[in-house]
Structure 1
Amino acid sequence: MTDPSAEYAGHPRLLALLVTGVTGVTVWSVARLAAALPGNDAGPATWLLAAMLLWWLPLSWCERRITAPPGERAGLDALRVTVQVPVYNEDPEALRACLRSVLAQSRPVTRVRVVDDGSHVPYDDVRHAFESAAAARGVETTWDRTPNRGKRHAQMHALAEDDGDVFVTLDSDSVLDRHAVREGLAPFADPRVQSVAGQVLVLNRTAGPIGRLTGLLYLPFTLGLRSAGSVLRKVTLNSGALAFYRAGVVRRCAGAYENERFRGRPMQMNDDSLLTFHALLAGRTVHQPSAMVFTLAPARFGHYARQQVRWMRGTAVRHLWWLRYLPLTSVIFWTTVAQHLHLLLMAALPVALLTDRQVDWGAVAAAGAQAGLAMNYVMALRLFTVRRGDESAGARLLAFALAPLAALWRLVVLRPLLAYAVLTCHRVGRWGTRGGVEVGLTAGK
């Protein structure tokens, strides 16, 4: 397999014009929807509030690639970078590609730590090839096998004693773009920056309908909420697929991070948001759209549903944690409140309409569909901000045209899964979806 590559295209002027136009259509559609509701004072006000709760949509377009001043480049090049790769029942070929991509970085890393969390899969051939290639490049390596204790323990294994300046967390089913490390280090030229989130793309985007849908959903999200948070320098959720942390942040949370509990049970899911929050307590957290990583997504619905429920449960727990412990003056507190208000409004609307006989259902349905379509196309425009080496311009246009399918998927599949996950968020566990190899690199192409 040839290692994938991508280029961050940014926000060309034509795209900015499209965003302006489609945003205008969205506002007009929401106004039409408000007018179609019963003529009482609460209807228009409620929909105006719902529109305002999507504050992140325009703000996210203010994000730009973060560059280091020329005078700071030498300091960044001197940083000791340790990449930690936790492994559990990973496809050997996927792990091989992951490690090969780390060694092929245009900005070499100092050390790579592989931690096998008690896998049932043998990796002898992968290990020997990796250690030989790393030695030829002068990259230090360690490969440890530990009893199965969960991803957090594998992530933190031996890092408290590591002398790195920056720690990189990388999932074992993810392949780095050649310039990912170089781009991910650039924001650290600002001493206030404590963590950097990478840009996640789907590696096996052509692996059936689930892979294609995931590809449509990933990019608008990571260049949506995460981009808006980065403009504020307050990203709340890095991706486990690729994230960079100042080493001091990770060392300070060692012990507490691995042993977090929820309702008396070990909390192993949603590890990424907890590390991000420790970084946020220490300073700024940002997203670097040009630090790209390609990750394997589930190819079967059963695997996909279990993964989504695990992520959603973890997010529900983290939201409760933020609402309990963050001060009322925190931006994150109020953005979390806004997200939940939006969900409540969307759930309450059908009930309100069903109890009012004056509703013009045809007008409501038409205006609602128009507003949802316009809003989803605004989000889908982000597909053009990244040029993949394995994707033609025509394929990007087709993906953009199919954006309403992703919206329908969110409504019909993900919203019910979210409700189930919130109600069962007490079921916290370890890896959750890795009883064996569930998606392979060859099958996922």
Structure 2
Amino acid sequence: MTEPPRARHASPRALALLGVLPLTAFLAWGVAHAVRLAATWTGHTSDGMALPWLVSFLLLWWVPVSWLERPRSVTPAHQPALDALTVTVQVPVYNEDPHALRVCLDSVLRQSRPVQRIHVVDDGSIDDTGEPLTYADVRAEFLALTKAPGMPEVTWTRTPNRGKRHAQMAVLAADDADIFVTLDSDSVLDPEAVAEGLKPFADPKITSVAGQVLVLNHDTNPLTRMINLLYLPFTRGLRSAQSVLGRVTINSGTLAFYRGAIVRNAAGTYENETFRGRPMQMNDDSMLTFYSLLAGDTVHQPSSLVFTLAPERPRHYLRQQMRWMRGTTVRHLWWLRYMPLGGIVFWTTVSEYVHMLLGLAIPVIVLANEDLRGHADTLLASGLLIATVMSYLMALRLFTVQRTDMTTRQTLFLFALAPLAALWRTLILRPMYLYAMATCHRINRWGTRTTVEVSL
């Protein structure tokens, strides 16, 4: 089978000295300078343009906080308890590229910390002609390989197509494992992913752990290169900052770890969630994280690394984003309703919407205020400068991972493109998000593909 890529989380200390501190200092100066200019032009110090602009940048608290994240480690005294945990990996499959699935399963068997069980559930895959896609060769090869002594216990089930959550709970509801690992079928685990992902569970308060997601097909075309940067603000920005506070709100289905009791207790409810009377099968990862938040702390383990296939065509990418955005909108409503009023999750959700509203209101303020309208070019230049610095500050997170499948030259090239990613988010993703919020009731099952769309 194909040798998987390797990756290693690198210490950000050198980056903090060489990049983060200078960029942060320049960003603070730029914001202060812009706010002072806005206050001078409007003749006010407490209202006009200055206050909303200042608040909008303060709401980006997660950018500097993300740099405080460090991988969780364990002492030799705690390691035997982690080694004794029974770990089950569940892989839901739907219209996946057979070779990608083969490499995914092979990566599970290559783990330095072996897992005890692997459950593969094919949720009624079909090929381009509408006939069943059975993965007969992959299944036979995998089942034969795992018959050897010392291999994990394996099941391979095919079910009628009912959605990812049903595929997961078809086996997890009756599994008595201590830890469940949810793994997408287009994902490839780093050999240390499971060992690192289990370390946070040495703390009994932690109920779920998110792995760090890397784009596997990062150099296929301009879109996949851009996706490397577009994923950063969440996968290594907001999620990292939330992890510092122990309140990660959305794990990636690509790789996540849960205490088994959390998932088993959700059986019957999780797979039958509805929104406005319609079945809710998208955003399975955020729902499991939601259950975990209700029971304890949720964190991100940056040293538990997983590679995943990103969309290679614009239409596929935009459908994926729309599905995620609609699902996140629904989850926001759940957080505002069920999370403690004085808790971090509730108020960070509120701050996200306040930031969004300010992003819409500030241009209106500029156009409506005669003094500011006369300085619109200066304000635009200041805003672009600040946005560029912010983009590079976030893109520095690229250097916190060392990959065997990406050269330093490729990483530097991506870093140079950071402002383009910020422009993409502003011009394409932000309008899409507003549309997704207005149409969040249009939910479906898997949502991303009707046939195999990305091949390895």
- Taking structure 2 as the reference length, what is the TM-score of the superposition? 0.95
Q: Which runs of 5+ in 2 are unaligned?
A: 127-132
How far is 1:238 from its partner? 0.4
Task: Return the offset for 1:13.
Answer: 2.8
1:125 to 132, 137, 144: 137
Alignment equivalent of 1:205, drawn from 193, 200, 218: 218
In the alignment, does 2:35 pair up with 1:34?
Answer: yes
Corresponding letter in the other structure for 2:100: A
Aligned to 1:216: 229
Q: In the superposition, relative to structure 1, how do residues 366 and 328 fare at CA in structure 2: closer, same or farther (>3 Å)? A: same
Q: Residue type of the partner of 1:426?
A: H
User: What is the CA–CA distance in structure 2 between the aligned matches of 1:324 and 1:167, rounded to whole Å?
Assistant: 27
* TM-score, scaled relative to structure 1: 0.97
2:286 to 273, 291, 299: 273
- Equivalent residue number for residue 89 of structure 2: 83
Do residues 48 (structure 1) and 54 (structure 2) align?
yes
Q: Note if 1:402 corresponds to 2:417.
A: yes
Task: Measure, in 2, the Cα distance between the counterparts of 1:32 and 1:367.
Answer: 9
Give 1:252-331 correspondences, 5 Å limit. Answer: 252-331=265-344
Do structure 1's residue 370 and structure 2's residue 370 form an aligned pair? no
Counterparts of 1:80 and 1:219, CA distance in 2: 32
Q: Which amino acid aligns with 2:394?
A: M
SS of match in other structure, 2:304: strand
Match of 1:92 in 2: 98
Q: How many residues align?
A: 441
Q: CA deviation at 1:259?
A: 0.5
2:406 to 373, 380, 391: 391
Shift of 1:128: 0.8
- 1:257-300 per-residue CA deviation (whole Å, 9 max, x = no partner) reads 00111001011111111100111111111100000000001000
- Quote the Cα distance in structure 2 between the aligned partners of 1:326 and 1:222: 22
Shift of 1:401: 1.2
Letter in 1 for 2:422: A
Partner of residue 352, structure 1: 365
Residue 122 of structure 1, CA deviation: 2.6
Percent identity of the aligned residues? 59
One-letter amino acid of the counterpart of residue 20, structure 1 = L
1:167 corresponds in structure 2 to 180
**Once the 2 structures are TM-superposed, how far is the Cα of residue 354 of structure 1 from its aligned partner?**
1.3
SS in structure 2 at match of 1:362: helix
What is the RMSD computed on CA atoms of the aligned residues?
1.1
Give 1:226-237 correspondences, 5 Å limit. Answer: 226-237=239-250
SS of equivalent to 1:181: helix
Task: Map Cα deviations across residues 325-380 of structure 1 (whole Å, 9 max, x no partner).
Answer: 22311110000000000000001111111112222022101100111011111111
Which residue among 151, 155, 160 is the counterpart of 2:168?
155
Instruction: Please give the secondary structure, in 2, of the residue aligned with 1:299.
Output: coil
Quote the offset at 1:158 in angstroms: 2.1
Distance in 2 between residues matched to 1:233 and 1:151, nearest whole Å: 27
Q: Secondary structure at the match of 1:258?
A: helix
Partner residue, 1:15: 16
Partner Cα separation in structure 2 for residue 274 and residue 395 of structure 1: 35
How far the C-alpha of 1:17 sits from its partner, in A, is 4.1
CA contact (8 A) 2:52 2:362 kept: no
Distance 1:170 1:416 in 2: 31
Match of 1:71, SS state, is coil
Displaced runs of 4 or more, over 6 A: none
Instruction: Supply the distance in 2 between the matched residues of 1:395 and 1:12 (Cα, whole angstroms).
Output: 22
Q: Distance in 1 between matches of 2:376 and 2:33?
A: 13
Give, in whole Å, the separation in 2 of the partners of 1:10 and 1:343: 32
Determine if contact 1:383/1:400 at 8 Å carries over to the other structure.
Answer: yes
Q: Which moved more, 1:229-238 or 1:394-403?
A: 394-403
Structure 2 match to 1:116? 122
- Preserved CA contact (<8 Å) 1:36 1:367: no
Distance in 2 (alpha carbons) for counterparts of 1:297 and 1:175: 12
Rounded Cα–Cα distance in structure 1 between residues aligned with 2:338 and 2:201: 28
Equivalent position SS for 2:95:
coil
Contact 1:15 1:381 in 2 (8 A): no
- Contact 1:101 / 1:177 at 8 angstroms: preserved in 2? yes
Amino acid at match of 1:361: A
> In structure 1, the residue corresponding to 2:359 is in which secondary structure?
helix
Q: Is contact 1:200–1:219 with CA below 8 Å preserved after alignment?
A: no
Answer whether contact 2:53 2:362 (CA < 8 A) is retained.
no
Structure 1 match to 2:346 = 333
1:224 aligned counterpart, secondary structure: helix
The code of the aligned residue for 1:389 comes to T
Q: Distance in 1 between matches of 2:438 and 2:455?
A: 32
Q: Secondary structure at the match of 1:10?
A: coil
1:105 aligned partner: 111
1:181-230 per-position Cα deviation (integer Å, ceiling 9, x unaligned): 00000111111111000000000011111100111122342111111111
Q: Which moved more, 1:192-201 or 1:14-23?
A: 14-23
Counterpart CA distance in 1 for 2:447 and 2:100 is 19
Aligned residues of 2:15 and 2:396 also touching (Cα < 8 A): no
Contact 1:220/1:383 (8 A) holds in 2: no
Give the aligned partner of residue 135 of structure 1: 147
Contact kept, 8 Å, 1:36 with 1:363, in 2: the verdict is no
Alignment of 1:237-248 (within 5 A): 237-248=250-261
2:72 to 66, 70, 91: 66
Rounded to whole Å, the distance in 2 between the matches of 1:440 and 1:52 is 42
How far 1:31 sits from its partner (Å)? 2.0
**Are 1:25 and 2:26 counterparts?**
yes
CA distance, structure 1, for counterparts of residue 448 and residue 403 of structure 2: 28
Q: Secondary structure at the match of 1:245?
A: strand
Structure 2: distance between partners of 1:192 and 1:221: 24
